[in-house]
Structure 1
């Protein structure tokens, strides 16, 4: 009888031990995530359309050659799941609108040294074809070049979250450049950002019509009368004492040296006259902004601000038209510019 009791007790303890072992077993950590990519744009004031054909996205890891076909290439797929290309007019996707190009693709979690947006058929010189990539301005249709049909956008990471969505945001006032005396355009990676679609916010507002002509140089008229110089500039963080809010420039290609205290804009936006509102007004809009403190400043005299050289434009103009704005995750902030007395 004692043997029977002891045997039963051993069975009971063994069963308990098995339960403890199974309860302490944790599921393996995920090694991949589902990732989507969309295209969006911040407006540009000198083009009627900016059309680009895309084929895929390549993620480079450390050790991959930046100039060959190594790395993970994710093709754009048609409705049947076959690799294809897609042509997008960037001006169709502004003020927070975006175009999904790659949906729920399984990607290994980790750090990538470069994200490359691959274009297709973009001309490589001013006389190239306008079949796949082109800009339409007030003079007609012109070739649009991308460097080697690759826009290299820098380091990128995929986290352990199961589903992630990213937006590739073009700031065309920074990335689109006239070339060959205005006969063609270049689309550069400068001014193109990859942001987490789920956490970004925005800053938008109106500009008092009385501010359009009260600054130091607001009466300046550009030679072709298409650049009216009414621009809101956005800077990441606060502007330190002694620093200068810079206009659009590219530090990698500017011909003139730029002082260390000139702060490069995060983005800029020309005013739009919005007559669809109850009270017609001039408005601006910055979308897809990561959570941060920002400085916004209006200039009525930003005539001739190109995306390469620092033009020493007065910002803010009028001088008091500058504000600090905090954007929290997924928050839309209103910041108006109004005349002060």
Structure 2
């Protein structure tokens, strides 16, 4: 079993939805139908120990708004992304109408469209469903480890298409919280926890650094690792300003404040130790950093934080920068 040092701001998959306004025609005796254009994309944040994380997508479904169920199947509907041959069944045959995407290719604010330019009726939909297929897996070295999604479906509530402008959403897969490798069970599981739907107009991106001198002077921290793909520290995000350090839980912890997301801190091979988190909902956050990297998402671990800082994230996909220093 792999060491579960899974760090993701997803990080981790993000699904972006963009709606553009148009109007359907009608005569004076008929109700005018307001239409919108629907685009859905995926994005992600990195996962330690994994070289690739392949997710198999099958369809996107909108439910409600007096429209029943509208399903857009990969490779069938002209506005969907093309199917590929990544997703295989138990016999090694390609599963039809699937798109396999390596989530690690779309980290931070990067994304990949699953659905582009579909006309749907404007209004509020009670649910958005992301239909998954079999065949997902995590690649570690030469080993392919199966990745399962319960019921092969992820559900999200309340998507509103605004007739007055553009409405954009992102489904963010925070893999450090959502991706688990339970003891005694074969393979990885992608759980709904840590997967969230955010409005792109109300999210920002965070970029930060930790001073090398701070790492040098902190017991247990590593500097200038030979392998720059290994994190040297982790930064945890908690909703709210100036939270007391002893109230901050690890992932799966029992303390008062649960992490909103977390990210790995990586050495650039020269002088900088940086981290990045995309699609963070606007608001105030307490950030806490640690050099303890073994955080089991299924357990209450004793993580020691070395310092905190409060930041304010602004909407409109603005970038907030933060520095931890002596």
Task: Specify the TM-score bucket, using the shorter chain as the normaliser.
Answer: 0.7 to 0.9
Distance 1:199 1:264 in 2: 21
Distance 1:304 1:274 in 2: 22
Distance 1:310 1:175 in 2: 15
Partner of 1:336: 323
Partner of 1:108: 121
Q: Determine if the alignment matches structure 1 residue 324 to structure 2 residue 314.
A: no
Distance 1:199 1:190 in 2: 21
Q: Would you say how many aligned residue pairs link Structure 1 and Structure 2?
A: 275
Q: How does the TM-score come out when normalised to structure 1? A: 0.71
Mapping 1:91-102, distance limit 5 Å: 91-102=104-115
Partner of 2:71: 73
Secondary structure of the 2:58 match is strand
Partner of 1:127: none
Cα deviation, 1:285-305, whole Å, max 9, x if unaligned, reads: 01112221222121122x320
Pick the structure with greater CA Rg: 1
Partner residue of 2:260 out of 241, 244, 266: 266
Mapping 1:240-319, distance limit 5 Å: 240=243, 244-249=247-252, 258-259=254-255, 262-275=256-269, 279-301=270-292, 303-315=293-305, 317=306
Contact 2:232-2:266 at 8 Å conserved across structures: no
Distance 2:66 2:296 in 1: 37
Contact 2:200-2:279 at 8 Å conserved across structures: yes
Cα deviation, 1:144-164, whole Å, max 9, x if unaligned, reads: 001111012334333334443
Cα deviation, 1:243-278, whole Å, max 9, x if unaligned, reads: 61111128xxxxxxx35xx21111101112223xxx
1:93, distance to aligned residue in structure 2 (A): 0.4
Mapping 1:121-200, distance limit 5 Å: 122=134, 132-138=135-141, 140-181=143-184, 183-200=186-203
Contact 1:227-1:304 at 8 Å conserved across structures: no
Distance 2:186 2:213 in 1: 37
Structure 1 residues 185 and 322, CA, compared in 2 at 3 Å: closer, same or farther?
Answer: same
Secondary structure of the 1:269 match is strand
Secondary structure of the 1:280 match is coil
Distance 1:75 1:119 in 2: 11
Distance 1:274 1:166 in 2: 31
Gaps of 5+ in 2: 1-27, 83-96, 223-228
Secondary structure of the 1:44 match is coil
Contact 1:44-1:269 at 8 Å conserved across structures: no
Contact 2:61-2:69 at 8 Å conserved across structures: yes
Q: Answer 1 or 2: which has greater helix percent.
A: 1
Aligned-pair Cα RMSD in Å: 3.1
Distance 1:29 1:332 in 2: 40
